[in-house]
Chains A and B, each alone.
Chain A
Amino acid sequence: MTQQDVSEVSVHINDTAVTVEQGTTLLQAARLAGVEIPTLCWAENLTPVNACRLCVVEQEGTRALIPSCSRLCEDGIRVETDSDRVRHSRRMILEFLASTNDLSQSAELQEWAESYQIDLDRYISPEKNNDEVKIEDDLFVRAYDRCVLCYKCVEACGDDAQHSFAIAIAGRGFDARVSTEYEVELPESACVYCGNCVGVCPTNALQFKVEFDLRESDEWRPEDQSTTETICSYCGVGCSLELHTQNNQIFKVTSPSDHSVTSGHLCIKGRFGWQYVHAPKYEPSKKS
């Protein structure tokens, strides 16, 4: 973009005037103004898909609530991010999700459920998603009873990151699920096990097998966990890794989504190839 293309627009967010570059979303402008808006399907390293509607805001003079993650700022508009209408809409979305899915492993959703005072008793015997956990390998599991169909994994597998297109949403309505083609098992699909889907999942529906096993055996101890940033040991790209450890054991690897080298995305070796760190030293490597 050359200098003369850049022009600025001013918007009012909760009565605060914010001036931003043209092309800025309402969500970005709100964050610049110090206003937090909850997001579920949005991520800074993915294209907005407007699936969850959690980030909706109320624009003065507009009938429908609008998604702030994708709507660009227009000069002069006034937006309310926490009006009764907005809060009511978000509360219902959170209630629908919580009535269907297991959200217990998403700290953010738990927090919002509380702050938006969701009330599941308003729903009489809601339909639950009781999908069984898919455990196909040692790398990651797919617990779709926690999946809220936010599309993040589909985007990361597709043209936002990996371009593998191994998964998409199949089925309609309540039966809609993330699926490989013809529901084949992952190794039979186009999956290259980069784990970029795991990296963007907001509900822990996709999680590392090590983490899954720790939770299953009741050894999950968030208070004993820490994260260390380092660099991948494999090729010369120099991907930044966040090693998540508990009691001296790596249980998850991520990459910062705002890092210039990775944008948060990794390959199978960087994401899962760390296990040799914990292999017994000074024995010939067991398997080839």
Chain B
Amino acid sequence: MASTDHGVTSPGRAHIEARTLRQDRWWQAPLTTFVVFSAFVVYATVRAFMGRDYYASPYLSPFYSPCLGDCVEGASDFGQPFAWWPLSAALIILVFPLGFRMTCYYYRKAYYRAFWLSPPACGVAEPHQAYSGETRFPLILQNVHRWFWYAAVLVGLVLTFDTVLAFRPMPAEYALGDGETSGIHMGLGTLLMIANIVFIWLYTLSCHSCRHVVGGRLRHFSRHPVRYRLWTWVSRLNESHGKWAWYSLFSVAIVDLYIFLLATGTIQDVRFF
């Protein structure tokens, strides 16, 4: 029993020992979040530190894009300013999308509930003795979410460029059938990257900070009709921000896994043309 004498069992409140009287499966949502997020973190960490099998021309894994370190040939479309970097090139760039998601208002809700149990669910007492929210270091740094959003827009543009490049002709070594083609190419990898970039943009543009920046900060919408219109669009996307967060989490992992399997020769790309 996690109830304490400073919370729901404080003096003066109705004396009920139970931590919660909820009878539904309130633990299901935080448990699911915990399992899925943990699996993603483990997978992403392993892949980020591997430093290989992230490029299968013309596909570049989103974990390594833009590839600014000592990357394999063809993967660095923006040069290699960090060629001296001794570790995996993913570690240079992943801090931005990672920071964006870690400080995201939706993810905060999800991991505060699932990992920190603060609270595990509504009306279920949390196990902690003290609570200062986001008022102190390190959690006060959640306020820099907007900075990461600025960076995430740039990363989104790079991933969009990667998706365009995914239409390039594909070398025969990865291809089924008659190998290299001269015109544009489209394979299952291209489709996955398109789906990924759509979800990435839906997630990035539905961000609460984006909603604020495009117009939410205004007090007089009537004086800024264009920004008001933008705000209404972002507001509509924002209603499903959590959904886009999940979809894009899966899509980015699936694209990376697909490219990993291609690069290691485990599978061959399914080519449409």
Do A and B form a real pair?
no
Chain B residues engaging chain A, CB cutoff 8 angstroms = none
Chain A residues engaging chain B, CB cutoff 8 angstroms = none
